[in-house]
Every structure is written in structure tokens, then in C-alpha cells.
């Protein structure tokens, strides 16, 4: 599994890194931490690039490297990564141009397997989408603070699953709220819920929500299949059926102490573009972390 963790500042990125690295550690995934720096307009990009090159000759880091250096040090201080025994021999932080507007950062004295630090500049949606499409990530993890619109666009336009780390509190004991139904993507969502439950060592509430008074047979069997999967993988779970509107009911049930996990909508892209979708509506209203599994 390939995980992409998108960060953009030191201030709001700790929860995003925490969540991303917990999942990555459990799944032994290859992880990329991406910082998208400010967009430079075309009148000036050559001048900015010359200024950046000159900065290197002064032993000064290019803008953005400090954020990735901070992220690396944070992961180390929280024991998410351990430096390899043989340090690299760089005398200073190095930025290697990897083409298509992305550079890989190699930090002075730091070497670790399965972790890449990537720097890009530009529009955050376009750069994240390009990174995901070009390198086939399975999961993209982004912060939730003030980024509903960004998460909304990413859910619409990228192929990977998306974890929006909205209001994540390390001290809070979370449960997973897994919304099941009879859609094609349901199985993937259940599998992902198992992985997250294992990563955080938490329990799962399996809910099937329907407008009708009596829950349909298909929804019921989807719940049972999910429960069976949890049992087989050793994850504790409870099954609930709730009558009501999916979006409001799920948001109310989740409050701020659940991680919502649901599959992507089976609507066509055009319908989603004009009418929106249930997962997007949940994401816009919820006050807790949420995963949309694709």
C-alpha cells in the first residue's frame, strides 16, 4: 500500500502526521510526505528559481525544506521512524529535482527506508492530484482545518481513498463508525475499516442507515458480512440499524468521537459534479475525521 500525507505548515500538520504514520506503521506501507509550497506566477518563476539556487550556495535551505525537516524530526521524536544506523554523508540538506515540478528532499544526517519527503510548488489541488495520479497512491491523508473545499475537490477528482483528518485529538478515544450498504465499494470500505481499527486499536460501530422503517435485506446482509470480517480479524464491533436520512444520521451518530469510514458513491462523475454525493455531504457536515474509500 502507498500512502501520501499532504502537509502545508508546521502549525496544523501534527494530527495529519500522527494519523498517517499510525496507519503506515500498521500496514508497513511506503509513505510519502508532501509539502505543497506557494504558487509562483509565470512572470517570476525563473527569477524565483535563480534565487533558490543562489540560496543553496549560501548554505540556506529553500522554502519548504524547513517544513519537511520539521515533519521528519516530529516523526522521529514520536518514534514513528527510526534513523538507519548508517547516516548519509550529506553536509547539508539536499533537494533533488525529480522532474514534473517535484523535488525530493534528503536531510542532512537523516536516512530512513520507506519514507520520501517531496516538495512541490503550485496550486494545492492540482499538485496533490498530479502526485496521486502519477505515482498511484492508495490513500491520501490531508488535514481538515479550513480545507473542506480542497477535500471536496480531491474526493471528486483523485483515484485514491481519502482520509480527512478533521479535528483529530490524540487524547480522545475514538471508535470507527462504518457506514455499510449494498454498493459495490462496500467491501473495500469494510477492509479499510479493519486496517484503521488495527492501527488505532479501537472498536467499530457498523451502521446501516435507511429512510425506510424496515431495513432492506441487502443492507442487513452487508452488515452481517462486515461483522463477520471484523470477527475474523479480531476487531471488536457492534452492529446497528438506524432509520433516517443518511447524511444527518451519520453526522449525529459520529459526533466528535468517531472516525467515519464509508465507501465512495456509485453515482457517475457527472451526477456527482452537478448534484454532489452522500459521502461529500457527510464530509462537509461532520466534525470528526473521515475516510472515503475508493
Partner 1 sequence: MFGFSERSISNILFWITRKKWLILSFLLSVSFFYFPTPDGLSSEGHRTLIIVLVALSLIVSETIPLPAVAMLILIMEVVLGVDTPDGVASSFMSDAVLFIMGSLMLAVSIVHQGLDKRLALLVITITGNKTWRIVLGFVTISALLSSFIGEHTVGAMMLPVALALIRNAGLSTGKATKLSSVLLFSIAYGCAIGSIGTPSGGGRNAIMIGYLAEFGMAEISYLDWIKMTYPMLLLEIPIVSLILWKTFTPSQKTMDSSVRKLKVQVAKTGKINANQLMAIGIFTLVFLGWIFFSPTFGLGIVALSGVFLYLSFGLINWKEINRNTNWGVILLFGSAISLGIQMKETGAAFWVAGQTLTYLEIIFQDVEIVRWFVSVVVAGLLTNLLSSAATVAVLGPIVLDMGGNPVITGFMTSIASAFAYLTVVASPTCMIIHSTGLITSADYFKAGWKLFIISVFLLLVVSLFYWPTLSL
Measure the CA–CA gap between 274 and 280, rounded to whole angstroms: 12
- The region that residue 28 occupies, defined by phi over 0 for left and psi between -120 and 50 for alpha, beta otherwise, is left
Q: Which residues contact 108 (CB under 8 A, 6 or more apart)?
A: 90, 91, 92, 93
- For partner 1, the binding residue among 18, 104, 126, 256 (CB under 8 A) is 126
Q: Does 45 bind partner 1 (CB under 8 A)?
A: yes
State the minimum distance, in angstroms, from the CB of residue 158 to partner 1.
9
Q: Does 268 bind partner 1 (CB under 8 A)?
A: yes
Looking at beta carbons only, is 23 or 162 nearer to partner 1? 162
Binders of partner 1 in range 192-251 (CB under 8 A): none
Measure the CA–CA gap between 215 and 124, rounded to whole angstroms: 41
Give the cell for residue 131: 502526485
- For partner 1, the binding residue among 37, 111, 202, 205 (CB under 8 A) is 37
Q: Does 42 bind partner 1 (CB under 8 A)?
A: yes
**159-198 mask for partner 1 (x: CB under 8 A)?**
x---------------------------------------
DSSP helix/strand/coil, 119: strand
First to last CA, the chain: 13
Residue 36: name the closest of 64, 14, 60 by CA: 64
CB 165 within 8 A of CB 19: yes
Q: Does 100 bind partner 1 (CB under 8 A)?
A: no
- For partner 1, the binding residue among 1, 12, 30, 63 (CB under 8 A) is 63
Q: Does 64 bind partner 1 (CB under 8 A)?
A: yes
Looking at beta carbons only, is 38 or 238 nearer to partner 1? 38
Q: Does 134 bind partner 1 (CB under 8 A)?
A: no
Q: Does 55 bind partner 1 (CB under 8 A)?
A: yes
DSSP helix/strand/coil, 239: strand
Q: Which residues contact 276 (CB under 8 A, 6 or more apart)?
A: none
Q: Does 156 bind partner 1 (CB under 8 A)?
A: yes
Q: Does 27 bind partner 1 (CB under 8 A)?
A: no
Question: Any idea what DSSP says for residue 53?
Answer: H
Q: Does 73 bind partner 1 (CB under 8 A)?
A: no
CA distances for 287 relative to 192, 216, 283, angstroms:
21, 29, 8
State the minimum distance, in angstroms, from the CB of residue 267 to partner 1.
10
Q: Does 77 bind partner 1 (CB under 8 A)?
A: no
Residue 81: name the closest of 35, 36, 22 by CA: 22
Looking at beta carbons only, is 59 or 213 nearer to partner 1? 59
Measure the CA–CA gap between 203 and 282, rounded to whole angstroms: 21
Measure the CA–CA gap between 77 and 58, rounded to whole angstroms: 29
Q: Does 61 bind partner 1 (CB under 8 A)?
A: yes
DSSP helix/strand/coil, 109: coil
Looking at beta carbons only, is 37 or 205 nearer to partner 1? 37
- For partner 1, the binding residue among 108, 157, 215, 245 (CB under 8 A) is 157
Q: Which residues are near partner 1 by CB under 8 A?
A: 37-38, 40-52, 54-55, 57-58, 60-61, 63-64, 66-67, 126, 129, 153, 156-157, 159, 268-270, 273
Amino acid at each position: 500500500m502507498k500512502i501520501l500525507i499532504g502537509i502545508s505548515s508546521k502549525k496544523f500538520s501534527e494530527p495529519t502526521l500522527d494519523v498517517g504514520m499510525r496507519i503506515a506503521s500498521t500496514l508497513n506501507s511506503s509513505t510519502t510526505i508532501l509539502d505543497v509550497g506557494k504558487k509562483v506566477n509565470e512572470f517570476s518563476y525563473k527569477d524565483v528559481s535563480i534565487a533558490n539556487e543562489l540560496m543553496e550556495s549560501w548554505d540556506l535551505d529553500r522554502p519548504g525544506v524547513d517544513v519537511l525537516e520539521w515533519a521528519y524530526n516530529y516523526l522521529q521524536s514520536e518514534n514513528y521512524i527510526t534513523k538507519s544506523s548508517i547516516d548519509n554523508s550529506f553536509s547539508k540538506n539536499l533537494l533533488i529535482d525529480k522532474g514534473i515540478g517535484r523535488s525530493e528532499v534528503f536531510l542532512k544526517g537523516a536516512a530512513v527506508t520507506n519514507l520520501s519527503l517531496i516538495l512541490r510548488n503550485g496550486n494545492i489541488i492540482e499538485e496533490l492530484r498530479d502526485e496521486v495520479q502519477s505515482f498511484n497512491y492508495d490513500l491520501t491523508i490531508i488535514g481538515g482545518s479550513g480545507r473542506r473545499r480542497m477535500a471536496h475537490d480531491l474526493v471528486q477528482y483523485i483515484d485514491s481513498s481519502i482520509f480527512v483528518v478533521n479535528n483529530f485529538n490524540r487524547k480522545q478515544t475514538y471508535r470507527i463508525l462504518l457506514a455499510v450498504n449494498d454498493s459495490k465499494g462496500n467491501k473495500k470500505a469494510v477492509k479499510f475499516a479493519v486496517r484503521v481499527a488495527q492501527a488505532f486499536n479501537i472498536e467499530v460501530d457498523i451502521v446501516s442507515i435507511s429512510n425506510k422503517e424496515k431495513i432492506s435485506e441487502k443492507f442487513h446482509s452487508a452488515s452481517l458480512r462486515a461483522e463477520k470480517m471484523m470477527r475474523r480479524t479480531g476487531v471488536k464491533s457492534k452492529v446497528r440499524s438506524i432509520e433516517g436520512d443518511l447524511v444527518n444520521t451519520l453526522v449525529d451518530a459520529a459526533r466528535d468521537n468517531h472516525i467515519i469510514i464509508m465507501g465512495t458513491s456509485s453515482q457517475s462523475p457527472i451526477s456527482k459534479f452537478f448534484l454532489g454525493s452522500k459521502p461529500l455531504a457527510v464530509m462537509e457536515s461532520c466534525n470528526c475525521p473521515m475516510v472515503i474509500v475508493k
